[in-house]
Amino acid sequence: MFKTVNNIRINYEEKGSGDLIVLLHGWGSNIKLFANLIDLLSKKYKVVAMDMPGFGESQEPPSAWAVGDYVDFVIDFLKDYDNKEIMFLGHSFGGRVIIKMHSDEKRKNLPFKVSKVILVDSAGILPPKNNKKSFRTYYYKAGKAVLSTGIVKKLAPDALENFRKKMGSADYAAASPLMRQVLVKTVNEDLEPHLPNIKCPTLLVWGVNDTATPLSDGEKMEKLIPDAGLVKLENAGHYSFLEQQYTFNRVMSSFMKIED
């Protein structure tokens, strides 16, 4: 299904009835990966999942958004629903949006109460800086400066783009120019200070082998979120809800009180 929110055409899916749970996908992902989860949760709840602006079949945002802009968008998207309480599940980048939703300035003005939160291999905690990363950052900035000069762009027009792909992450290389700006903005925002503001029951699910958002991030979130519990899934990485689907579904059914 499609609808237009703030002049942005959005692809979304809605299934089931009952209390509302909203699913927010990870970076570079889309609602198709939530198909199994939508089927499971819709047995008891109304499930809404959207391709956020710049992902899947939805249009890109009008400018380089920060995390707070995505929070504002999700709130505006949900204005068509009159639910006083809403549950949220976020994977990776989607978790980042949910955490930011609980920032001090946003928490006071939410038009609904967040009754439950599920964070799956969530982003939001900045990795510790090290000398190797600092050198890589310096090297990237220096190389970008050189390759951006007029003479180099004229002699080797593809040099800068090839350098970016070599030095950047896979997510960065795959993104459009606008979404690359969004990526840089979002990954550099430390959301750790907002974690204690999540007061509702919170389930954290993590793949033990996650290298994108390591298990240590989940352990830190468990300590900082007042009412949180962490479930560790063995033999799973950043997409634990797909890699250990059976076990993940059992965990979800227990937390959400869904009977077989």
Q: Would you state the structure tokens that stand for residue 123, as one six-digit string?
A: 């982003």
Residue 11 to residue 52: CA distance in whole angstroms: 8
Find residue 205's DSSP bridge partners: 120, 231
d(CA 50, CA 72): 14
pLDDT of residue 157: 58
10 Å CB burial of residue 172 (0-12, 13-18, 19+) is: middle
Residue 228 scores a pLDDT above 70 = yes
Task: Say what the pLDDT of residue 214 is.
Answer: 94
The two three-digit tokens of residue 168, written as one number: 């950047």
pLDDT in tens, 144-183: 454 455 554 555 555 445 545 554 556 666 678 898 899 8
Query: Distance between the two ends of the chain, CA-based, in angstroms?
Result: 28
Q: Is 62 helix (H, G, I), strand (E, B) or coil?
A: coil
pLDDT band at residue 242, thresholds of 50, 70 and 90?
very high
Provide the pLDDT confidence category of residue 139 given band limits of 50, 70 and 90: very low
Element (H, E) at 222: helix 215-224
pLDDT tens digit string along 80-122? 998 999 999 999 999 999 999 998 665 667 899 999 999 999 9
What's the confidence (pLDDT) of residue 107?
61
Distances (CA, A) of 260 to 2, 185, 231, 253: 31, 42, 20, 8
C-alpha 94 chain-centroid distance:
2
Better-scored residue on pLDDT, 212 or 224: 224
Please give the pLDDT value at position 135.
43
DSSP structure string for 19-56: SEEEEE--TT--GGGGHHHHHHHTTTSEEEEE--TTST
Q: Residue 245 corresponds to which tokens in the numbers above?
A: 């689907």
Q: Domain 2-126+188-256 adopts which CATH fold?
A: Rossmann fold (3.40.50)
Q: What pLDDT, in 10s, does the model give residues 6-65?
A: 999 999 999 999 999 999 999 888 999 999 999 999 999 999 999 999 999 999 999 999
Task: Kindly report the average pLDDT of the chain as a whole number.
Answer: 87
Domain ranges in the chain are 2-126+188-256, 131-178
120: which 2 tokens? 């799956």
Ramachandran angles phi, psi of 203, nearest 5°: -105, 130
